Structure 1
Amino acid sequence: MDIVLMMYTRNNPSCAEPLFGQNNSLNVNFNTSKKTVWIIHGYRPMGSTPKWLQNFLKVLLNHEDLNVIVVDWNRGATTFIYNRAVKNIRKVAATLGTYIQILLNHGATLDNFHFIGMSLGAHVSGFVGKIFQGQLGRITGLDPAGPKFSGQPCDLRLDYTDAKFVDVIHSDINGLGINEPLGHIDFYANGGKKQPGCPKSIFSGIAFIKCSHQRAVYLFMASLETTCNFISFPCPSYKDFHAGSCVDCDDFKEKSCPRLGYQAELWKDVLKERKEKRFLRTTVFLDTTGTKPFCSYYFVLSITVLDNNMKNGCITFKLLNQLGMVEEPRVYEHWFGIFSELKLAMFPM
């Protein structure tokens, strides 16, 4: 497969160094006591380097002093025959398993490993986790690939049992991504379907196909680049979320509602406890804007009508941002007879 492991640290943030030297000696810049983030790309039919990769490295190293390893399996991912790339991911995982064992021999620990996989890379991460019997510290699946994986049993795709904590961001469930919940927590941004700000016409070219799929990557990066908290609401469905039926987070009282992205790990303990008690995965929903940093705020406005004879009415409201400009909300209305509740109003940041 000609897999290359490119290592970055704060000592070499812009120029990759090999992870291993001669006789499997470990690069001096790799610190076995620090967290190690593994970034694994997905299907690359044209063989090009992902445009988001360099900025991803930058924001990770700016946020935390880490070892970052980029797994370059381009030779196995570059093919016009998608099924061939799918078959190659098990070979990639097996090779990574060998490299990881060498790292463990040098004193690294599985608990310090955080795998971040995009599309097919998410399933590669899952297969690596299976090799080590779910003892990896964390796996983040960024819109895990759907074709050839939808409807498959857990041993043939990414699953919550593949690491001590698995979080998944869904952004293209009707296209290149997978619909099923796979992790301890699954974030469905804008319902996990067509993302705002993405081209709506096939005449937009390749962006029409991959924009929503890659949005999961940019949302994860935004969670590191901005002060925005991508607050998400546990809910049975996106329809219920829009109906205003899921605006509380009673099961998460101590930490409030879960947040998409790097911070999701803060909810690891309560999510694992929920999973053990209820044998259910946690699905959460959020809406975003269509442009970077994709950030929105939610407000609950409850209005009780006291006059039983009132049949019709009109309510308007506005919110001023920090610049004194009026922000136009998207309002999700939920009517209960004479009680009217504007359950969720979303404002761009």
Structure 2
Amino acid sequence: MQRHTARQSAQFWTGWGLQLCLIFFWHTQQLEASASIDRIQKHNLELLTQQLNRGWRAFCDAPVDEGVMALFEGINPSDARLHVMTITNQSVQLPIKSMPELRDFDINPQRKTLIYVNAFHTADSYFSVQEHLTLLQTTRRDLNVIVVDFATHVAQLYYTVRHHLSVHGYSIYKLLSALTDAGIAAQDITLAGHSVGANIAALGADLYAKGSKQQVGQLIAIDPATMCRTTDILVRQTVAGRVVVLHGEGDVFGVRVPLGHVDIYPNGIGYFPRKKLQPGCDSKICSHMYPFVLFMEALIEGVMIPATKCENWSKFRQGDCSFENTLNIGLIYPSNAKGLYFCMTQPNPPFTYMEHGLRYQIRRPEISNALKA
């Protein structure tokens, strides 16, 4: 009996040791697999960052491992976030599915409403999208400001452009429906977005117009992205009561041709397909970001950045414009504003030349270190 018990004990410890070995082996394999996945994802992000500097086509065609990318947070459309304000002046982040809860926050039907659609990733720099949008929310308490963030990193931006544009556009449509159901008048809503966000905003506005038989009051498209396919350039006059396009680059990243009721070309950049850059910029992606900073300066700082109607850039350079027909970059535009508008701006903040920006002048050559960051 004792001999049998000893044999059983030996078998038990042998089996237990084998299980420990198997568990250790499995755990080691899992760690190696995890490290391998992290290495692949790191390579994916490096590749996307490199290709983004070459433009949307290169970015969309980047040979990344999408199977690995799909494992990481931020790829699924449900990972998008809403940023809304509380009555105590705090910005709160909500999952996109929490749209019905918006009525519980500081949303006042007596105010105008600005929905900013962010789908462009930037690293922390002078152009930090997230910092500007936070300032916008906390500064403009005269507005209902809602930020919809579809891109918190470059991988999410990739999936937005490649796969999720229609889903994100539908989310904007649902957001507009939720707001109008809460008592916000559609004509009091301005949708704004930069780059890919401009096309998502346009799609959401278009879906809302078709579904509700009414249009939002205004779409402000900031250098709409040329996208992977030309069919995904969705900014057009029919999607909102007024469509304002603020151009910035017009060669690799932004759309050059007029798309709205009003098309504004600061410094004429993007009007002609020439390799020129915005003041203070030494790259095309900087020029693509430049009108976003102009728009934020106008909204956050209240700076006047005037532009004048002109038949084309050549006429503007000659001073042959209708200087009685002017407007300021921002949220409010004259009811009779229509056509092409031009202005001169500076390489450093404040970017405005005020009324002197309505006349062509030779740009100073200095390059802002802030814009190069």
TM-score, with length taken from structure 2:
0.64
The alpha-carbon distance between structure 1 residues 181 and 13, as it changes in their structure 2 partners (threshold 3 A), is: farther
Contact residue 141 and residue 167 of structure 1 kept, 8 A: yes
C-alpha distance in structure 1 between counterparts of 2:157 and 2:184, whole Å:
37
Corresponding position of 2:243: 166
The alpha-carbon distance between structure 1 residues 13 and 112, as it changes in their structure 2 partners (threshold 3 A), is: farther
| Aligned partner (choices 187, 193, 203) of residue 111 of structure 1 | 187
**C-alpha distance after superposition, 1:272-305 (max 9, x if no partner):** xxxxxxxxx50111111101111114559xxxxx
C-alpha distance in structure 1 between counterparts of 2:311 and 2:100, whole Å:
52
C-alpha distance in structure 2 between counterparts of 1:292 and 1:75, whole Å:
26
1:195 correspondence with 2:246:
no
Between the two proteins, the alignment pairs up a number of residues equal to 275
**C-alpha distance after superposition, 1:106-137 (max 9, x if no partner):** 32221222111010101111111111226111
Structure-to-structure mapping, 1:52-67, within 5 angstroms: 52-59=129-136, 61-67=138-144
Contact residue 289 and residue 295 of structure 1 kept, 8 A: yes
C-alpha distance in structure 2 between counterparts of 1:22 and 1:88, whole Å:
19
| Aligned partner (choices 152, 155, 164) of residue 88 of structure 1 | 164
The alpha-carbon distance between structure 1 residues 7 and 64, as it changes in their structure 2 partners (threshold 3 A), is: closer
Tell me the CA shift for residue 38 of structure 1: 1.1
SS in 2 for 1:70: strand
Tell me the CA shift for residue 146 of structure 1: 1.9
The alpha-carbon distance between structure 1 residues 100 and 298, as it changes in their structure 2 partners (threshold 3 A), is: closer
The alpha-carbon distance between structure 1 residues 65 and 245, as it changes in their structure 2 partners (threshold 3 A), is: same
User: Match of 1:92, as an amino acid?
Assistant: H
The alpha-carbon distance between structure 1 residues 107 and 247, as it changes in their structure 2 partners (threshold 3 A), is: closer
| Aligned partner (choices 104, 116, 126) of residue 202 of structure 2 | 126
Contact residue 76 and residue 85 of structure 1 kept, 8 A: no
Tell me the CA shift for residue 56 of structure 1: 3.2
Tell me the CA shift for residue 242 of structure 1: 0.9
C-alpha distance in structure 1 between counterparts of 2:101 and 2:314, whole Å:
53
Unaligned ranges ≥5, structure 2: 1-76, 271-276, 363-373
User: Match of 2:281, as an amino acid?
Assistant: C
Corresponding position of 1:142: 222
| Aligned partner (choices 344, 347, 363) of residue 290 of structure 1 | 347
Tell me the CA shift for residue 4 of structure 1: 2.1
Corresponding position of 2:255: 178
**C-alpha distance after superposition, 1:169-211 (max 9, x if no partner):** 1011122110011111111011124101012xxxxxxxx3421
Contact residue 91 and residue 138 of structure 2 kept, 8 A: no
Tell me the CA shift for residue 99 of structure 1: 3.1
User: Match of 1:219, as an amino acid?
Assistant: L
Contact residue 118 and residue 141 of structure 1 kept, 8 A: yes
C-alpha distance in structure 1 between counterparts of 2:355 and 2:178, whole Å:
47
**C-alpha distance after superposition, 1:224-258 (max 9, x if no partner):** 34464222121222222112222533xx3xxxx11
Contact residue 99 and residue 178 of structure 2 kept, 8 A: no
* Pair member with larger Rg: 2
C-alpha distance in structure 2 between counterparts of 1:246 and 1:29, whole Å:
44
Corresponding position of 1:215: 290
1:100 correspondence with 2:176:
yes
1:35 correspondence with 2:112:
yes
Corresponding position of 1:8: 85
The more displaced of 217-226 and 6-15 is 6-15
Contact residue 10 and residue 61 of structure 1 kept, 8 A: no
Contact residue 18 and residue 27 of structure 1 kept, 8 A: no
SS in 2 for 1:123: helix
User: Match of 2:330, as an amino acid?
Assistant: G
User: Match of 2:336, as an amino acid?
Assistant: V
The alpha-carbon distance between structure 1 residues 10 and 138, as it changes in their structure 2 partners (threshold 3 A), is: farther
Identity within the alignment, %: 23
C-alpha distance in structure 2 between counterparts of 1:10 and 1:125, whole Å:
26
The alpha-carbon distance between structure 1 residues 9 and 331, as it changes in their structure 2 partners (threshold 3 A), is: same
1:231 correspondence with 2:310:
no
SS in 2 for 1:295: coil
User: Match of 2:345, as an amino acid?
Assistant: T
SS in 2 for 1:248: strand
C-alpha distance in structure 1 between counterparts of 2:301 and 2:98, whole Å:
37
Give the aligned CA root-mean-square deviation in angstroms: 3.5
Contact residue 7 and residue 18 of structure 1 kept, 8 A: no
C-alpha distance in structure 2 between counterparts of 1:225 and 1:80, whole Å:
26
C-alpha distance in structure 2 between counterparts of 1:226 and 1:23, whole Å:
32
Tell me the CA shift for residue 34 of structure 1: 2.2
Which of the pair is proportionally richer in helix? 2
Contact residue 117 and residue 140 of structure 1 kept, 8 A: yes
